[in-house]
Chain A
Amino acid sequence: MTAQSQPERVEEHADASPLLELSDVSVHYGAVIALDHVSVQIHPGEVVALMGPNGAGKSTILKAVMGMAPVSTGSIRWRNDILDSPTHEIVKRGISMVPQGRRVFTHLNVEENLELGGMHVRDNAERNRRLDAVMDFFPILREKRRDPASAMSGGQQQMLALGRGLMSSPEILLLDEPTLGLAPIIVSEVFQRVTEISRTFGTTIVLVEHNIRGALNIVDRGYILDKARVAFEGTPKEIEDSDILTQVFLGREDDED
């Protein structure tokens, strides 16, 4: 997906009601404020990036959606319903998360890892169909299906983590720093696969990324977070045209006071 095609997609979603909506959400860990009255809207089919410096609250947004962070104010809505299910129920509602650091189960083989991602599918035939679809999409996973996940490279483990996230056939895929710790050539492959997931499966994607350049190349919209708040929201072009990235990453002049 090129930057030029993005504004059309945004317009396409502008009227639709959001698939996932965080309104005025705050998360506190004791005295530490991880999210401070944050509002984010994700529309069906979009690829949206959450970007910002370390500690800005990017990952906390995903954790709040997954029921893994204590939300003290505001609400999270999924298809207009309040989303307050415990973590293990969330995936059944069509939300899947690929956690930071890949978190593949290294003692299990590739196929077992994938199957764990589709546990709530009781029908064996359906689960096998999904397994096939994921392996078609990631041929490396078919090739290494009997190998322990520990024997895979970092990039391959990330593909496994993405594949495992897709096993539940999610409507929305939350990716927490999928390129963290990977070699540059693998990083571009991961971004390419994320774009292909969106196109092939029509999955809505929320991407938490520290690689701003890479992320802006593939997303429809982005949120820039700073100090637990949303500092800017817009299309990649709007983000690039503004000086928000300089302000957030290099500091504002008034910060020195």
Chain B
Amino acid sequence: MQIRQLEISQNFSRLPQTLLFSLRNHLEIWATVIVILAAATFMLSRGTGFSITLVTVFAIWAMLAVSLNLVLGYTGLLSVGHVGFYGIGAYTAAVLTANPRQELLEGEIIQIFAWPFFAALPVAVLLCGVVALIVGVAFSRFRDDVYVLVSFGFAIIAYNVFVNWQWVTRGPFGIHQIPKPVIFGYTINDDLEFLLLTLAFLAIIVGISWLIVTSSFGRVLKAVREDEDAIEVFGYRSSRYKLAIWVISAMMAGLAGAMLATYTSFVDPNSFILLESILLVAIVILGGLASIWGSLLGALAFVLLEEGVRFVPFLPPEHVGQVRQIILGTLLVLLMLFRPQGVAGRFKL
């Protein structure tokens, strides 16, 4: 009897160690459970309307994260320029669909197209592809830290175009009254319907990404990530593969941008600053490099953090933004120290 009690007390005393061990070895499972439970609790406590908003915002970030992971995780190209394509997608959709006639400033002339969303969407996606192709021809010669620098340059240029190309983008005023999508004469005004549409696009992006990473094309991307010179010896032109995945990824980001534009019905350059790109890189790294599931998890955790911090008691609203960034930064540092491949990742940065 005494021995049994001793065993139990020993087991209890080892509990923290056992838990820590389990947490380290099964971080992916633990993180998945914790994030999903947190999301569920949060949504239940805040009600349906809030839940729909949360999941819609998640879906847009998830599209971005999954698309960036193709470039950053699978191919090993650390790009901080993704926000540029997100912005190009958003602005193209905004410019082509908006009808801001009433709110134009005196003397301001901008072209008004007032296209339906589903006509503008393919243009937004294709334009991102074309811009990515032009930029990528130069970029695909680079790798490693130089890639970070040139992609940084792209993000800065894109932002400056959004701010200064005023007769198209209306500069800092932004573009308002971006209409909701219309399918066969039916306007998707309802939040739940819009959420389903966004989730459908997310599913398409996840599906395409999954097909890519499990194909022979994806295998070459992973090989490029590991050893770009070696892959050339076996007859692969690594720059072509880098260019191809860059263009595909940019088009996905463009789609996310277009969805953002119609969702918020307003775009301005502030949504596409470099910090957004850095946050996105953080999501992909936190979730896990070369893991589509990791990117979905990372995006969900990020959106929870974004929204959750607002409801922390005694936290003055003006500090919410800073607290978010401190938490995200701390998480990133901790993960790089103890789990450099991210929660669900296969590769280290």
User: Do A and B assemble together?
Assistant: yes
CB <8 Å contact, B230 and A88: no
A-chain residues with CB within 8 Å of residue B216 when the two chains form the complex? 115, 119
Contact of A108 among B222, B232, B236 (CB under 8 A): B222
Does B337 count as interface, using CB distance less than 8 angstroms?
no
B-chain residues with CB within 8 Å of residue A115 when the two chains form the complex? 216, 219
Instruction: Write out, one digit per residue, whether chain B residues 224-250 have a CB within 8 A of any chain A CB (1) or not (0).
Output: 011101111111111000000000000
Does B223 count as interface, using CB distance less than 8 angstroms?
yes
Cα of A119 to Cα of B346 in the assembled complex, Å: 24
Number of residues on chain A facing chain B (CB within 8 A): 24
Contact A168/B219 with A99-B230, A103-B230, A107-B346 known, Cβ cut-off 8 Å:
no
CB <8 Å contact, B235 and A108: no
Which B-chain residue is minimally distant from A167 (CB atoms)?
B234
Contact of B223 among A66, A90, A105 (CB under 8 A): A105
Contact A119/B233 with A105-B227, A107-B347 known, Cβ cut-off 8 Å:
no
Does B88 count as interface, using CB distance less than 8 angstroms?
no
CB <8 Å contact, B234 and A168: yes
A-chain residues with CB within 8 Å of residue B220 when the two chains form the complex? 116, 119
CB <8 Å contact, A119 and B227: no
Cα of A99 to Cα of B233 in the assembled complex, Å: 8
Which B-chain residue is minimally distant from A95 (CB atoms)?
B233
Does A89 count as interface, using CB distance less than 8 angstroms?
yes
List, sorted by A's number, 17 A–B pairs whose CB atoms are closer than 8 Å. Answer: A68-B232, A68-B233, A86-B237, A87-B233, A90-B235, A97-B233, A99-B230, A103-B227, A105-B222, A105-B223, A105-B226, A106-B226, A107-B226, A108-B226, A112-B219, A115-B219, A168-B234
| New A-B contacts (20) at CB < 8 Å, excluding given A68-B229, A88-B236, A92-B235 | A66-B233, A68-B232, A86-B237, A88-B238, A89-B235, A90-B233, A91-B234, A97-B233, A99-B229, A103-B230, A105-B226, A105-B227, A107-B347, A108-B219, A108-B223, A112-B219, A115-B216, A116-B220, A116-B231, A164-B234
